[in-house]
Structure 1
């Protein structure tokens, strides 16, 4: 089963969300749910993000966090053992939990600390530092789920642990990816 995980990197855009609609199951990461309000699930590790975006509690799909204080947000499930995972990787793990055999990564730039498709975080949210960005890359390097193909469909991504391909190519040949 093909899943697309829509992260919040600078390359994320409405056209990525539109391309996967009806062609893959979708996990939205943090603010990307605004581009894909119809997604199957929403994942955000950061408790502060959930508190700053109370409207996300009305998201109709499943909602996941990795933080211990997730229970203060109505309807959010905690993914066991995920208290230190970045939100993008949490989204990938949610896709695997929900039965993914292929995961397509969109918006996983990982080269512009603190930058997102919507600009920089405001309010109480801290921007990712260059050091944290490197730690995120190491988290992805350690995550190699058995029986799941992960393909990075983010143009120009600094995340090099998974093979890359265009989103169009991956969606055009679903039989090649366990659909």
Structure 2
């Protein structure tokens, strides 16, 4: 290990952190729209088999679509919970880090859909979607703590309730 934090970018977030270690998107339509993001040099992951069959260099992540909880028995497989953020949290937990910092996990639509605005021509979250996402994310907080992994929510406007909140710089220092 080089001691550097590992960074997982979700969907368009790779544009904010083009040096991320991993780019994850669960939706084939997103991968297709961005043609597999050829300019991203890190590991590309998805649960979508169609995206992984394209010549874009995307590696397959398994999906337990029958469970909205964490998948810990099969490494490289995630619980469903309906969103990429949960999938990435599940993958990060499988890496057994000491700490996970959530950035951009607002889990709400009343302040806007995404930092980059709505996806054009792709699905965008509804209030019903984000309610489920919050419920699933908050439901696994206790289990993650029991594994000795600290999860800090550095998303200033996040609606998540079960993760301590602090600013990004403070979260990275503690």
TM over 0.5: yes
Greater per-residue helix proportion: 1
- Matches of 1:147 and 1:62, distance apart in 2: 26
State how 1:100-111 maps to structure 2 within 5 Å: 100-111=97-108
TM-score, reference length from structure 1: 0.75
Alignment match, 1:128? 125
Deviations 1:15-50 (A, max 9, x none): xxxxxxx96221101000011111010111111111
1:64 to 45, 61, 71: 45
Alignment match, 1:112? 109
Alignment match, 2:155? 154
Alpha-carbon deviation of 1:91?
1.9
CA RMSD of aligned residues (A): 2.3
> Unpaired segments of 5 or more residues in structure 1?
2-21, 174-179
The answer as to whether partners of 1:82 and 1:90 remain within 8 angstroms in 2 is no
Alignment match, 1:165? 166
- The number of aligned residues is 152
Alpha-carbon deviation of 1:141?
2.5
Provide closer, same or farther for how the CA distance between residues 46 and 55 of structure 1 changes in structure 2, counting only shifts above 3 A: closer
TM-score, reference length from structure 2: 0.77
Provide closer, same or farther for how the CA distance between residues 43 and 128 of structure 1 changes in structure 2, counting only shifts above 3 A: same
2:88 to 66, 72, 91: 91
Alpha-carbon deviation of 1:161?
2.1
Query: Where do 4+ consecutive residues of structure 1 move more than 3 Å?
Result: 82-85
Alpha-carbon deviation of 1:58?
4.0
The answer as to whether partners of 1:26 and 1:39 remain within 8 angstroms in 2 is yes
> Unpaired segments of 5 or more residues in structure 2?
66-79
Alignment match, 1:42? 23
- Matches of 1:88 and 1:127, distance apart in 2: 14
Identify which of structures 1 and 2 has the higher relative contact order when contacts are C-alpha pairs closer than 8 Å and 6+ apart: 1
